Structure 1
Amino acid sequence: MKRFWFSTLLLLILFNSFFLSSASAHTNNSEGFSNIEVKEKSLDYELKLDLEELGHALEKETEQKELIDNKIVQQYVNAKLKLYADSEAINGTVVKTDIEMIEDRAFAVINLAYNFEHKPEKLVVEYNMFLDDSDPSHANFASIKMNGEQQEKILSFESREIEIGEVSFLQTTKQFIVLGLEHIFTGYDHILFVISLLIGAKTIRHIFTLVTAFTIAHSITLALATFEIILLPSRFVESAIALSIVYIALINIFNKDSKHQPWLAFGFGLIHGFGFAGILSEMKLDTNHMATSLFSFNIGIEIGQLIIVSIAFPIILWIKKITIKPIKWVIPSTSVAILAFGLVWFIQRAF
């Protein structure tokens, strides 16, 4: 009798364990396949994922084909699959989806297209599908073709990256100088801060000391943030940059004869450096050219600043010398406008 109840209890335990594992949406040790081909100005990525595991990751049913047609798939793939072409992040577009049976198991087939301005010298794939949310045991068998070379790798929890190709020193230098130029010319908050400094400058020597102090300061924090020695929340940094604009604009409005001190430019330059580092944090910097990338990016920023100063400062000096009343209001009006922009940016970024 005891043997009967023991056998019955053992059967119940085994049945319960089997039932629970069957009811779970996890497939455990799910597989995936990546076929990547780099062309002249585009990349084709065929991604095959276990359909059941994909449904669990998206918290959706897997019986219907609508699962792989949903826009959520696009968002999930771009969030979990990062592609960097010459360090720049490129988002893919889902162009086709299908379902394929592999060894009696359903797989979602997702065809992604990536477009480049020019053929990249180095490509990095960062793969995080399922690994951090639904199946840490997931493995993806990847094959990538680029420049006549083919590389194969198994992507897993411990190994999530594929690297192929190598960016040359000249390519890195050119790329990051251009990136620095683009960043300063599209960073309107930085431009308005520099113009505010120019308004409070008295001589060419004075503006040279201000720009030098600002440059040294933002170079320090740019390096610290890029090498992840000191990191600050982006909301705090962007809000502080807006406040720096507000502060300098207020001085220019209420104390027209004030002479901005280099320590002021240095102090606010430290904050702006963290802002400059924001764009680099979104990139996959090549560790072999980290110093070159950082230096080149900073050179691009400095060239942009010199262009802004060489254009804006002579105009400001010319306006200050004119005694005609309507023109005399140009600089105060400009400071008020800069103040308004700074306040709007602070409200948008802080709240």
Structure 2
Amino acid sequence: MPRRHRLSALVLAHVLVGLLAGVFVGVLVDAARPAPAAAHDATTKAHATVTGTGPDVRAVLDLEYDLLMKSAWLYAEAYDAKERTEQLRQLKINHDAVIDYVTRRFAVTYDDAPCTPTPAGDADVRERAKVAFAVVTLDYDCAGEGPGQHAISSALFPDAESFVHSTETLVGYRLDGTTGSAVLTAASPTLRIGERRAAHQVGEFFLLGAEHLLSGLDHIFFLLALLIGARRLRDVIVTASAFTVAHSITFLLAAMGVVDVPAAIVEPVIAVSIIVVAVANLLGRGEERAGRWRLPVVFAFGLVHGLGFASALDIDESGSWGLLLSLLSFNVGIEVTQLVIIAVLFPLLTLLRRTSAARWVTVAMSAPIVAVSLYWCVDRVTLPF
């Protein structure tokens, strides 16, 4: 290789290794911060299920617990609560403040007339990916008779509150004889049932899938570890195809409630999958030997990653088959983003392998992946005591 190209490749190697080192340090710094601050440096997703067979409807909202308590301007005693029993107690004590906040930020109308919300019992708490979410149920009394049109609006956790940014509200609905789903954002906060076309729904969930892959460092690390170990374009195509087929199967099954595996199992196994592939790169397995184990291992771990992708939507209510378009769009968003990452990184890694520093680059890139994944694995294991 000409000296100029060799120097360029070495510079590129240092850049890629530097980026991985930066991510490693970032994960460790993030781990050292208090949990609420670490969670709210970025964003959150609110979940809403709205159902009804006439004018009146019921909305079940899942909202990140500590963020909800902060947004309702409650004291640290409320939003710092960590045990479920104490969280339930705080929700009961602060019932009026919580309901006031939610009903000001989430609204339902019928033929453009506001529906009157009434809380249906006390709020509950459930866990999503090791984060506590408050479950608030509201019954909306909507004036009117006969066929009409509902509209759902969400302004939950806006940027102006400064706790999070770019909040998305994922809405699943069975209203006005229609079943579907939508993503409400600050730029598009209102859903009029029956007005959004299928193309709009496809675009929303395609972008949501792309965003989920890009924001999920564990999935990107797994993909990067696979690329580091691949030597030929054919290897990349076969490996990526196996991973795609596997996680597509479990994603669709889990998102529609056919398969239900607790996050306490899925998340540690995802971390283990990254460690296995990255350690294989460090051990420098021969290409022939690697070919025998890589495909079945990638397929098996792909099944687990699909369960992780499904947790981003958490659509598991009865009738989810009607949400198939949203699920497929979300999955396609993941696949296209994955292909873009491969198209960008594989040629660069191929260039680096042609230099004398090829082995050093493999070790320098794989070691941080193993270190971060080991931390994730330990952090995600729920200890029984």
Instruction: Quote the Cα distance in structure 1 between the aligned partners of 2:316 and 2:259.
Output: 17
Residue deviations 1:249-286 (CA, integer Å, cap 9, x gap) = 11111124343522111111000000010011168898
In 1, are the aligned partners of 2:247 and 2:306 still within 8 Å (CA)?
A: yes
1:113 aligns with 2:135: no
1:319 aligns with 2:352: yes
Instruction: Quote the Cα distance in structure 2 between the aligned partners of 1:334 and 1:127.
Output: 55
State the one-letter code of the partner of 1:336: A
- Equivalent residue of 1:280, what SS? coil
1:25-104 matches, cutoff 5 A: 71=94, 73-75=96-98, 77=99, 94=101
1:71 CA drift (Å): 4.6
1:141 CA drift (Å): 5.6
- Which residue number corresponds to residue 330 of structure 1? 361
Seen in structure 2, the aligned counterparts of structure 1 residues 250 and 143 have a Cα distance that, compared at 3 Å, is same
Seen in structure 2, the aligned counterparts of structure 1 residues 252 and 150 have a Cα distance that, compared at 3 Å, is closer
Seen in structure 2, the aligned counterparts of structure 1 residues 248 and 130 have a Cα distance that, compared at 3 Å, is same
Residue deviations 1:82-117 (CA, integer Å, cap 9, x gap) = xxxxxxxxxxx72xxxxxxxxxxxxxxx852249xx
1:177 aligns with 2:189: no
Instruction: Quote the Cα distance in structure 2 between the aligned partners of 1:212 and 1:321.
Output: 26
1:129 CA drift (Å): 2.1
- Equivalent residue of 1:214, what SS? helix
Which residue, 193, 211, 222 being the options, matches 2:251?
222
1:132 CA drift (Å): 8.7
RMSD: 3.9
- Which residue number corresponds to residue 265 of structure 1? 298
- Equivalent residue of 1:232, what SS? coil
In 2, are the aligned partners of 1:200 and 1:252 still within 8 Å (CA)?
A: yes
- Equivalent residue of 1:197, what SS? helix
Instruction: Quote the Cα distance in structure 1 between the aligned partners of 2:214 and 2:123.
Output: 38
- Which residue number corresponds to residue 279 of structure 1? 312
Which residue, 152, 160, 163 being the options, matches 2:175?
163
1:179 CA drift (Å): 0.8
- TM-score w.r.t. the length of structure 1 is 0.58
Which residue, 317, 338, 342 being the options, matches 1:309?
342
Which residue, 215, 219, 231 being the options, matches 1:202?
231
Residue deviations 1:126-177 (CA, integer Å, cap 9, x gap) = 98721798xxxx99561289xxx6669xxxxxxxx87361242111111111
Structure 1 gaps, min length 5: 1-32, 37-57, 61-66, 78-92, 95-109, 116-124, 153-160
1:305 CA drift (Å): 0.5
Residue deviations 1:166-210 (CA, integer Å, cap 9, x gap) = 242111111111111111111110011011111111210111000
State the one-letter code of the partner of 1:163: L
Seen in structure 2, the aligned counterparts of structure 1 residues 271 and 292 have a Cα distance that, compared at 3 Å, is same
- Which residue number corresponds to residue 372 of structure 2? 341
- Which residue number corresponds to residue 35 of structure 2? none
Instruction: Quote the Cα distance in structure 1 between the aligned partners of 2:345 and 2:381.
Output: 30
Which residue, 257, 260, 264 being the options, matches 1:231?
260
In 2, are the aligned partners of 1:285 and 1:293 still within 8 Å (CA)?
A: no
Instruction: Quote the Cα distance in structure 1 between the aligned partners of 2:118 and 2:377.
Output: 36
Q: Which has the larger radius of gyration?
A: 1
Instruction: Quote the Cα distance in structure 1 between the aligned partners of 2:308 and 2:229.
Output: 23
Q: How many residues align?
A: 235
1:131-150 matches, cutoff 5 A: 140=139, 142-143=141-142
Greater Cα offset, 304-313 or 253-262: 253-262
1:299 CA drift (Å): 0.8
In 1, are the aligned partners of 2:257 and 2:316 still within 8 Å (CA)?
A: no
Divergent runs of 4+, >6 A: 125-128, 283-286
State the one-letter code of the partner of 1:302: E
- Which residue number corresponds to residue 89 of structure 1? none
In 2, are the aligned partners of 1:192 and 1:245 still within 8 Å (CA)?
A: yes
Seen in structure 2, the aligned counterparts of structure 1 residues 127 and 216 have a Cα distance that, compared at 3 Å, is farther
- TM-score w.r.t. the length of structure 2 is 0.53
1:229 CA drift (Å): 1.1
Identity %: 30
In 1, are the aligned partners of 2:255 and 2:316 still within 8 Å (CA)?
A: no
State the one-letter code of the partner of 1:199: I
Seen in structure 2, the aligned counterparts of structure 1 residues 127 and 111 have a Cα distance that, compared at 3 Å, is closer
- Equivalent residue of 2:104, what SS? strand
